[in-house]
Amino acid sequence: MKHHLKRQLRRLATERPYQIIAGSAAALVLAGGAGATLTATDDAPAQRDTAAVAELGSRLDDAVTRSEARVALPSPSASPSASPSASPSASPTASPVAKAAAKSANPDTTPKAKPKPPSSKVLDYDYQAQTTYYYCGPAAVRNALSAAGIERSQDTLAVALGTTEMGTNSAEDTTRVLNQQVKGNPYRTRMIPGAATPDQTDRLQADVVNAVSNGRAVVSNIVGDATDTNGGWHSFPGGHYVAVIGYKNDGRTVRIADSADPSLPSYWVATTDLANWMSTRGYSA
């Protein structure tokens, strides 16, 4: 009987495609309910053996069917790739570290707008009157440099400018010496060969605002007469040098530091009047 039952089990296992499941189920059936049958002697009636095999086959079919059902069911836990949750990179709320990394990888290259200069500004400077009647050039350059915190004597600057009793030659000389004393060679010479045009006046206004807003005074080579905003009259028929140390009204009016008269060290002049005052001369800005 034992050999017959074993053959039946082998046949049942080999006739189905899930041999491993069938073998496992058969082992469970044998351990649970067929132990008595396997231990029966060869003298037991044939009917009991046949009934035991039939019952074993039926229970084996049930076990296999249940195993098939379990195999056919989907796994209760979805795979990571099928997860409905979005990946960290797709998260609508990025972490501060991720934001910083993204900003570093994609820097903002939009040009920044240059700050607008103030509508008025007057530099803090140290005034000196000219020490000789022909030292207006050295005195104007000296007063302009003092606004940048640079102290030089009028004598030292007179040597650098080539100043003589005939005075200082032109705005080209004041531009050269100013650039020798400050860093970066920021000064440029602007000449007004005749009566000042509107474009030249606008250029003067822009140059004064740019220089003063950046801490630099302008040196102007003037000739002839001009009237300040208070009605004061200033006349230099042989030529003269002054420093422009401030502006107001967005540069339409400028502050003059004049070394000629220590009793009136500074005054305001309309920019158009200063442009005409420099006719046939020029300035360093």
Residues 206-252 pLDDT 10s: 999 999 999 999 999 999 999 999 999 999 999 999 999 999 999 99
Domain residue limits, the chain? 2-71, 121-284
Q: Higher pLDDT residue, 179 or 77? A: 179
Nearest to 259 by CA among 148, 134, 123, 170: 134
* pTM listed for this prediction: 0.62
**Cα–Cα distance, 119 to 115 (Å, whole number):** 12
> What is the per-residue pLDDT for 112?
73
Identify the band that residue 72 occupies on the pLDDT scale cut at 50, 70 and 90.
very low
- DSSP class of residue 272 equals H
Percent above pLDDT 90 for the chain = 60
Selection from 240, 236, 226, 235 nearest residue 270 by Cα? 226
**Cβ-based burial of 235 (10 A; exposed 0-12, middle 13-18, buried ≥19):** exposed
What's the rounded Cα separation, in Å, for the pair 43 and 285? 130
- Six-digit token string for 144: 């302009």
Cα–Cα dist 276/271, whole Å: 9
pLDDT at 6 over 70: no
Contact 229, 247 (CB under 8 A): no
Note the pLDDT of residue 115.
85
In the structure, what pLDDT confidence band is assigned to residue 77 with cuts at 50, 70 and 90? very low
In whole angstroms, give the CA distance from residue 139 to residue 186. 20
pLDDT at 10 over 80: no
Mean pLDDT value of segment 68-83: 42
Q: Is 154 exposed, middle or buried (0-12, 13-18, 19+ CB in 10 A)?
A: buried
The confidence score (pLDDT) of residue 11 equals 55
- What mean pLDDT is reported for the chain? 78
DSSP strand pairing (121-122 vs 253-257): unpaired
Report how far residue 28's alpha carbon sits from residue 263's, in angstroms, rounded to the nearest whole number.
Answer: 122
Res 102: pLDDT: 66
Tell me if 255 sits within 8 A of 143, measured CB to CB. Answer: no
Terminus-to-terminus CA distance in the chain, angstroms? 122
User: What is the C-alpha separation between 104 and 265, in angstroms, rounded?
Assistant: 54
Number of H helices, E strands in the chain: 10, 7
The answer to whether residues 258 and 265 touch, using CB atoms and an 8 Å cutoff, is yes
CATH placement of domain 121-284:
3.90.70.30
Q: Among 23-27, 95-99, 268-272, name the one with the lowest average pLDDT.
A: 23-27
Tokens 């073998």 belong to residue = 23
Q: At what angle do helices 171-181 and 136-146 cross, to 10 degrees?
A: 40
Count the Cβ atoms, other than its own, within 10 Å of residue 225. Answer: 13
Residues 205, 252: Cα–Cα separation, whole Å: 6
**What is the tens place of the pLDDT at every residue in 114-172?**
789 999 999 999 999 999 999 999 999 999 999 999 999 999 999 999 999 999 999 99
What are the two backbone dihedrals, phi and then psi, of residue 58, each rounded to the nearest 5 degrees?
A: -65, -45
